[in-house]
Amino acid sequence: MTEIVSYARNVDEATQLVEVANVDAIICGEERFGLRSIGNICFEEILKINHFLKRRSKKLYVLVNAIFHDERLEEVTNYVEKLSDLSVDGIICGDPSIFTILQEKNIQIPIHWNPETLATNHETLKFWQDIGVTRAVLSNELSLDEIIDINQSLAIPIEVQVHGMTCIFQSKRKLVRNYYQKIDDDWNPEKIRYVKQTKSDQTHYPIFEDRNGTHIMSTEDICMLRYLPQLLDNRINCLRIYNIFKTINYNVQVSRVYKEAIKSYSDDPNQFHQLIGGWEQQILSIQPSKRKLGTGFYFKEQIY
Amino acid sequence: MKKPELLAPAGDLEKLKFAVHYGADAVYIGGKQFGLRAKAGNFDYEDMKEGIAFANRYGSKVYVAANIIAHNEDLTGAEAFFEQLADIGIHAVIIADPSLIRVCQRVAPDLEIHLSTQASVTNWRSVLFWKHQGVERVVLAREVTMGEIEKIKEKVDVEIETFIHGAMCISYSGRCVLSNHMTDRDANRGGCAQSCRWKYDLFEDGTDETVNVSETSELAYTMSSKDLSMVEHIPQLIENGVDSLKIEGRMKSVHYLATVVNVYRKIIDTYMEDPVNFHIDQEWIDEIWKAAQRSLTTAFYFKDPSEEDQLFGKPEQIPKYNFCGLVLDYDGQTQLATIQQRNPFKIGDDVEFFGPDFYRFQQKITWMIDENENSIDIAKQPMMKVKVKVDKPVTYFNMMRKQR
Domain boundaries, chain A: 3-165+221-294, 167-217
- Does the residue B294 lie in any domain? yes
**Ramachandran area for residue A176 (φ above 0: left; ψ -120 to 50: alpha; else beta):** alpha
Q: What letter does residue B176 receive in the DSSP assignment?
A: B
pLDDT tens, A83-108?
A: 999 999 999 999 999 999 999 999 99
Q: Is the pLDDT of residue B5 over 70?
A: yes
Q: Is the pLDDT of residue B39 over 70?
A: no
Closest-approach residue (CA) in chain B for A303: B185
CATH number of A3-165+221-294: 3.20.20.70
- Cα–Cα distance list, A216 to A95, A115, A207, B321 (Å): 20, 16, 4, 37
ipTM above 0.95, yes or no: yes
Is residue B216 pLDDT above 90, yes or no?
Answer: no
Whether B373 shows a pLDDT value over 70: the answer reads: yes
pLDDT of residue B218: 83
B47/B104 same-domain check = yes
User: What's residue B227's pLDDT?
Assistant: 97
Sign of CA dihedral B226, B229, B232, B235: positive
Neighbours of B166 (CB within 10 A): 20
Q: Do B184 and A116 touch (CB under 8 A)?
A: no
Q: Mark which of B311, B337, B362 sits at the end of a domain.
A: B311
Write the CB contacts of B390 (distance below 8 Å, at least 6 apart in sequence). Answer: B330, B335, B336, B337, B353, B363
Residue B307 and residue B158 share a domain: yes
Do B271 and B141 sit in the same domain of this protein?
yes
Q: Is residue B124 part of a domain?
A: yes
How many domains in chain B?
2
B125, B175, B219: residue with CB nearest A170: B175
- Taking the C-alpha atoms of residue B334 and residue B113, their distance in angstroms, rounded to an integer, is 51
Final residue belonging to a domain, choices B286, B311, B336: B311
B228 and B341 share a domain?
A: no
The stretch A245-249 carries a mean pLDDT of 97
Using an 8 Å Cβ cutoff, are A7 and A30 in contact? Answer: no
Burial class (CB in 10 A: 0-12, 13-18, 19+), B1: exposed
B58/chain A closest Cα distance in angstroms: 35
Q: Left, alpha or beta for B348 (phi > 0: left; psi -120 to 50: alpha)?
A: left
Which residues in B lie closer than 8 A to residue A74 (C-beta atoms)? none
Closest CB to B126: pick one of A95, A168, A182. A95
Do residues B24 and B120 both lie within one domain?
Answer: yes
Instruction: Name the minimum distance, in Å, from the CA of A111 to any CA of chain B.
Output: 16
Closest listed residue to residue A158, CA positions, set A144, A172, A169, A168? A144
Which string of DSSP letters, residue by residue, matches chain A?
A: --EEEEE-SSHHHHHHHHHTS--SEEEEE-TTTSSS-SSB--HHHHHHHHHHHHHTT-EEEEEE-----GGGHHHHHHHHHHHHHTT-SEEEE--THHHHHHHHHT----EEE--GGG--SHHHHHHHHHHT-SEEEPPSS--HHHHHHHHHH-SS-EEEEEEE--EEEEESS-HHHHHHHHTT----TTS-EEEEETT-SS--EEEEEETTEEEEE-SEEEE-GGGHHHHHHTT--EEEEE-TTS-HHHHHHHHHHHHHHHHHHHH-HHHHHHHHHHHHHHHHHHS-TT-EEE-TTTT---B-
Q: What pairs with residue B115 in β-bridges?
A: B95, B138
Compute the CA torsion angle A153, B112, B88, B55 (nearest 10 deg). Answer: 140
Range of the domain at B371: 321-403
Q: What is the CATH number of the domain that holds B128?
A: 3.20.20.70
User: Rounded to an integer, what distance in angstroms lies between the CA atom of residue A204 and that of residue A221?
Assistant: 10
Q: Are A223 and A253 in contact (CB under 8 A)?
A: no
With CA atoms as reference, the chain A residue closest to B192 would be A304
Residue B338, CA distances (Å) to A12, A87, B205 in order = 80, 76, 63
Contact between B171 and B196 under an 8 Å Cβ cutoff? The reply is yes
Q: Distance (Å) from the C-alpha of residue A8 to the closest C-alpha of chain B?
A: 22
Query: What is the C-alpha separation between A154 and A158, in angstroms, rounded?
Result: 8
pLDDT tops 70 at residue B208: no
Distance, CA of A48 to CA of A34 (rounded, Å): 18
d(CA B87, CA B133): 23
Q: Are the Cβ atoms of A304 and B189 closer than 8 angstroms?
A: yes
Mutation target for A interface from B200, B209, B306: give the one with most A CBs within 10 A. B200
Would an 8 Å CB–CB cutoff place A196 in contact with chain B? yes
Cα B138 to Cα A293, B68, B118, B246, B356, distances in angstroms: 41, 16, 11, 12, 29
In a domain? residue B198? no
Is B194 part of any domain?
no
Question: To the nearest whole percent, how much of chain B has pLDDT over 90?
Answer: 91
Are B230 and B327 found together in one domain? Answer: no
pLDDT category of residue B42 using cuts at 50, 70 and 90? confident
Q: How far is B221 from chain A, CA to nearest CA, in Å?
A: 7
Q: Mark whether B299 and B349 lie in a shared domain.
A: no
Measure the CA–CA gap between A261 and A129, rounded to whole angstroms.
Answer: 31
Decide if A95 and B123 are in contact by the 8 Å CB cutoff.
Answer: yes
Q: Does residue B182 sit within a domain?
A: no
Domain identity same for B240 and B348 = no
Q: What angle do CA B112, B126, B24 make, to 5 degrees?
A: 40
Burial class (CB in 10 A: 0-12, 13-18, 19+), B2: exposed
Q: What is the pLDDT of residue B362?
A: 97
pLDDT given at position B147 = 98
How large is the greatest C-alpha to C-alpha distance in chain A, in angstroms?
A: 60
Over residues A169-204, the pLDDT tens digits come to 999 999 999 999 999 999 998 889 999 987 667 899
Position B205 scores a pLDDT of 82
Establish if B83 belongs to a structural domain.
yes
Asked whether the beta carbons of A243 and A6 are under 8 A apart, the reply is yes
| pLDDT reading at B261 higher than 70 | yes
Is there a single domain that holds both residue B147 and residue B241?
yes
CATH of the domain at B351: 2.40.30.10
In chain A, which among 77-116 make CB contacts under 8 A with chain B?
A: 95-101, 116
Q: What pairing do the DSSP bridges indicate for beta strands A213-217 and A205-210?
A: antiparallel
At B316 the pLDDT is 83
Domain assignment present for B243: yes
Classify residue B187: in a domain, yes or no: no
CB contact under 8 A, B205 and A191: yes
Contacts of B207 (CB under 8 A, 6+ apart): none
Residue B217 — pLDDT band, cuts 50, 70, 90? Answer: confident
Q: Which pLDDT belongs to residue A1?
A: 86
Give the distance from residue A139's alpha carbon to the nearest chain B alpha carbon, in angstroms.
10
Q: What are phi and psi of B393, to 5 degrees?
A: -65, 150
Is pLDDT at B206 greater than 90 in this prediction?
A: no
Indicate the range of A200-209, B237-246, B306-315 predicted with least confidence.
Answer: A200-209
